[in-house]
Amino acid sequence: MATKASDTYKLKPVAPYKVDPPGAIKKMPSPREMHHVHIFSDDNYDAMVEFYQMIFNGEITNVNSHENRMELTFITYDDHDHRVVVIKRPGWGKKPDRPVGLSHIAFAYNSLGELIYIYKTLKAAGYPPPHWTVNHGNSTSFYYKDPDGNEVETMLDNFSSLDTQDYKRFYQFTEDFGDMAEGNFDPDKMVELYESGVPDSVLLDREEVRRMAREGKL
Ligand SMILES: [Fe+2]
């Protein structure tokens, strides 16, 4: 049953990001940002809600129950009302191991220090380790699976946005770049090097990562 809001909330006038009068939009618009992810779950619903709160340091803005039909938990990690919605669908079943469709959702962070803090927090909480940790050249990325098996990438652009775009256009996947797997690294060794004071300018540089991985140091 829906509750009455009148005592707790007073409606405000709408305030969109921008107003475009009729005729102002003259070409196909691209999204301004990626806003949210909707995930159907079933048996692992509670674990999913816990996982997304932890990995995003998120906060629940609403839980909406519909008898036995479904329940939605809205989670945010910034000033938006929701970024991830986990939806319990009783009887929906499990995600197959090799589903066709979306492979992963990537979330950008501000620093290697942040990526490492997330890694250490999830590890301490007993979550399985990321199944792939790699320097792609353009990014440094940790790939996790949520309790239902959806892939979540936490990543950092290794250069400024435009330089990262140039790296993608002109260097990544060339012969000089080599095999993608040459950028793979051991996350525990990454933590060790980071905490021993090896600078980010080295730890985020794929050529350095490649060299250290070859030498067994990363
Ligand atoms: Fe990705």
Rounded Cα distance, 50 and 145, in Å:
13
The pLDDT of residue 111 is: 97
For ligand 1, the distance from its centroid to the CA atom of residue 45, given in whole angstroms, is 24
- The token pair at 204 is 């985020």
- The mean per-residue pLDDT over the stretch 143-148 comes to 97
- Phi, psi dihedral angles at 167 (to 5 degrees): -60, -45
- On the question of pLDDT at 3 being above 80, the answer is no
For ligand 1, the distance from its centroid to the CA atom of residue 152, given in whole angstroms, is 9
Asked whether 13 and 60 are in contact (CB, 8 A), the reply is no
For ligand 1, the distance from its centroid to the CA atom of residue 101, given in whole angstroms, is 14
The pLDDT of residue 125 is: 97
- On the question of pLDDT at 149 being above 60, the answer is yes
The pLDDT tens digits of the residues spanning 180-214 come to 999 999 999 999 999 999 999 999 999 999 999 99
pTM, rounded to two decimals: 0.93
The pLDDT tens digits of the residues spanning 4-43 come to 787 789 999 999 999 999 999 999 999 999 999 999 999 9
The pLDDT of residue 2 is: 63
Nearest of 140, 131, 135, 138 to residue 161 by alpha carbon: 138
Q: Which residues pair with 37 in a beta bridge?
A: 84
- How high is the mean pLDDT of the chain? 96
For ligand 1, the distance from its centroid to the CA atom of residue 185, given in whole angstroms, is 16
The H-assigned helical ranges of 39-172 are: 45-55, 112-124, 161-170
- What three-state secondary structure class fits 196? coil
- Phi, psi dihedral angles at 27 (to 5 degrees): -140, 165
Nearest of 188, 72, 200, 178 to residue 130 by alpha carbon: 188
The pLDDT of residue 166 is: 96
The pLDDT tens digits of the residues spanning 55-87 come to 999 999 999 999 889 999 999 999 999 999 999
The pLDDT of residue 203 is: 98
- Alpha-carbon dihedral angle through residues 186, 191, 192, 195, given to the nearest 10 degrees: 160
For ligand 1, the distance from its centroid to the CA atom of residue 91, given in whole angstroms, is 30
- On the question of pLDDT at 1 being above 70, the answer is no
- The mean per-residue pLDDT over the stretch 83-98 comes to 95
For ligand 1, the distance from its centroid to the CA atom of residue 71, given in whole angstroms, is 29
- Residue 179 class from Cβ within 10 Å (0-12 exposed, 13-18 middle, 19+ buried)? exposed
The pLDDT of residue 147 is: 97
